[in-house]
Structure 1
């Protein structure tokens, strides 16, 4: 819990103020900047649940879904109205930082305080289980023959991280400039809605994070053509990597949180410490790996420096493939 909630709770206990008339500590809130079912929603709900179950939070963490602009709506809301609220976390990831790097949010990474990351998701290219494409090479061959032949969807807009990962594969397959830019890209607000539309025949493939759509893999509705990881994914060891198929492409998407830029040092550090405590538990490791995440911790100043550096890298990649000038 935040410094202020710890202080209030401690004062209440010391004074014996446990009745309903006592001043109570405020509950923590986590904003998931997307509809229910996506990776940001998973991050808020899983972390919030574990913080409560493990006693790191006094009461249930409220989860608020605030979709729009691939996180831009939530970013603007916090920056404009809630910048100093020490009880607030916002789920984010490489996807959000990519949007910031491309100027699609109302401000740069310095507008917020970056709390920590607890794991990284792995990008995947998936198709319906009954698709004629058996390998990622099959899909890329079809796109090389006619870039408009297979609509591909993801949870980011054109030039976002899901799209960039597809273009990196296209580039590795030998497509160039106007050809891979001609690929038909469809944006949905989350990997789960994208897969649902794919199963309905609206698109032919999806580029997203495994953590967002693991349930569809487990149910057998879809198959993974390529995992964009260095090694096979522990939760799905039979899923082939792009590297194993001759395409030297990886695409990780870390999962973490920011809070408002005017949050006090005490509240900020309290969140860093609390998330690190969660990270060190077997419960988090089990929940993360069960959803295809690789557990990794960066927090506090280290994480802030990491985010700033990644924003620069995403800007360079975006320029190199012509997404921004």
Structure 2
């Protein structure tokens, strides 16, 4: 799929389709980022906070609920906040993978209500600006010859999507995922701090969360794990594929609610996102956050999640993460 053409086409389409929705009246609207500030979940909630501002009756507040790379929040919204109609929770493809591998406990994808997407993101191989690794080949050569010499870290434990990115790199280097020297952190913000502090050498993160750090000159992206090069500000960064390594990872970013949320409250959030999707302003927010405008809500998103879960279960089984 040509994601650059998809991005352009969707932005153009949005410019011509602006359905008229009244503001959704939501008491104390909240977006829960299930990690510490600074990572991909934070970014996802900021899209909702800014993008929904004209379409909800009160400003969306962003709150953080770290723990278990989303497990604490997932359990909260399946127990004592299962009917909370005022809150949405950020999720990513990694959250779906955590459900599959049992990291979220007894609850599964059918335990919550899938609300809407914030857009699509892509994996990235990131180093500090002063790293000896000048390109992806340097990293892959070391992974191939001496995997233990490369300290890889990210915001997720073994089996998470960030681990999967490193595992795919390790496999492409001719080794096995279990040979990788991997350090797990509770969210992308913590992993980025570790990279900048020198505790890890390579961060397998996401493109979208890199925008402020690239502007500051603190880090460099050696490769994006997208099918093709992305649009600005990432258009100068080569893909892993064009550097000769068949590694790709697309991240869906979006929001869910508790499974016992009323249809009325659920519809308010879905309507608000649909209204936002029909504006050029929302498309610009997605672009500025490094996301492609992959816009789905309500039943369409729920059906997409069902299909994605089937595919991810196949991948997880192949990697030996589930039986």
- What secondary structure is seen at the aligned counterpart in 1 of 2:147? coil
Mapped to 2, the partners of 1:220 and 1:227 lie a distance apart of 17
Pairing partner for 1:226 from 223, 226, 236? 223
State TM-score, norm by structure 1: 0.88
- What secondary structure is seen at the aligned counterpart in 2 of 1:198? helix
Cα shift readout 1:244-294 (whole Å, capped 9, x = no counterpart): 111122111111000011112222222112112112222221121112111
Mapped to 2, the partners of 1:315 and 1:63 lie a distance apart of 31
- Structure 2 residue 30 is the aligned partner of structure 1 residue 35: no
Question: By how many angstroms is 1:309 displaced?
Answer: 2.0
Partner of 2:123: 123
Partner of 2:63: 64
- Alpha carbons 2:123, 2:224 under 8 Å: kept: yes
- Alpha carbons 2:31, 2:48 under 8 Å: kept: no
Mapped to 2, the partners of 1:118 and 1:45 lie a distance apart of 9
Mapped to 1, the partners of 2:157 and 2:250 lie a distance apart of 17
Pairing partner for 1:243 from 241, 244, 262? 241
Q: Which moved more, 1:88-97 or 1:268-277?
A: 268-277
Mapped to 1, the partners of 2:137 and 2:281 lie a distance apart of 38
- Alpha carbons 1:230, 1:250 under 8 Å: kept: yes
- Alpha carbons 2:123, 2:226 under 8 Å: kept: yes
Pairing partner for 1:205 from 194, 202, 206? 202
Partner of 1:146: 146
Alignment of 1:41-80 (within 5 A): 41-52=42-53, 54=54, 56-80=55-79
Cα shift readout 1:186-241 (whole Å, capped 9, x = no counterpart): 11222232122112110110001111222112221111111001111212111110
State TM-score, norm by structure 2: 0.88
Label 1:184 to 1:142 Cα distance change in 2 as closer, same or farther (>3 A): same
- Structure 2 residue 155 is the aligned partner of structure 1 residue 158: no
Partner of 1:267: 265
- What secondary structure is seen at the aligned counterpart in 2 of 1:34? coil
Mapped to 1, the partners of 2:62 and 2:134 lie a distance apart of 39
Q: Which moved more, 1:94-103 or 1:312-321?
A: 312-321
Q: Which moved more, 1:312-321 or 1:197-206?
A: 312-321
- Alpha carbons 1:101, 1:312 under 8 Å: kept: no
Mapped to 2, the partners of 1:186 and 1:219 lie a distance apart of 25
- What secondary structure is seen at the aligned counterpart in 2 of 1:64? strand
Question: By how many angstroms is 1:298 displaced?
Answer: 1.5
Question: Of the two, which has the highest radius of gyration?
Answer: 1
- Alpha carbons 1:116, 1:256 under 8 Å: kept: yes
Mapped to 1, the partners of 2:103 and 2:33 lie a distance apart of 18
- Structure 2 residue 57 is the aligned partner of structure 1 residue 96: no
Alignment of 1:303-318 (within 5 A): 303-318=301-316
Mapped to 2, the partners of 1:291 and 1:26 lie a distance apart of 27
Mapped to 1, the partners of 2:68 and 2:130 lie a distance apart of 32
